[in-house]
Amino acid sequence: MLRKLVLVAVACATSVVMFAGPASALTKVRYQAQLSDHVAFTGFCDFTVYSTDTGTAPMITETYDDEGNLIRVDVTPQGWVHTTLEGNGNSVTVNNTGPVTIIFEADGTLTVYQRGPSLTGDQGLITGVAFLTHTYGRVVTTGIPNAATGLTDFTSVVWIGNVTDLCEALAA
């Protein structure tokens, strides 16, 4: 029986190799990110929020297609990252170690998949709803890169898991 399974597996693998199209020439570039130190975020809450990271910076893997276009970015934790947010005279420290995958879609939009503990924020330029949240779970966001702000303007966001409104936490 084992021999039959091995033969079937080899036959399947051979047919995949024989009928497969040309290999994609993807290029991957990997480097360690830098942690942020007192970065100001305006427009997410009714007040400016300052963010500082401590811990171990994650690894970034950029994937380019055979024409040199960036098609995917993976942010992979290498330890822990805590982000301290300060605003309105208050501070909150959260775990921000969830892995992130950013897919650059053919129509110019982005799809962002966040898993685990992570921060999400939008100025609400398209949706009209600004927010800054911390989620233990999964977040799927679609958006349009904004060259003027250097951020992504969200067109949709779905949270699955425990979500904390950080604007509310910092306003208290």
CB 114 within 8 A of CB 107: no
Is the torsion defined by CA of 110, 115, 77, 48 positive or negative? positive
pTM above 0.75, yes or no: yes
Residue 148 DSSP class: T
Please tell me the predicted confidence (pLDDT) of residue 24: 55
Instruction: Give the pLDDT means over successive 10-residue stretches in the chain (172 positions).
Output: 30 35 72 93 96 95 95 94 95 96 96 96 94 97 93 95 97 88
Please tell me the predicted confidence (pLDDT) of residue 6: 30
CB 69 within 8 A of CB 36: no
Please tell me the predicted confidence (pLDDT) of residue 25: 67
Question: Which residue is associated with the tokens 């709803």?
Answer: 129
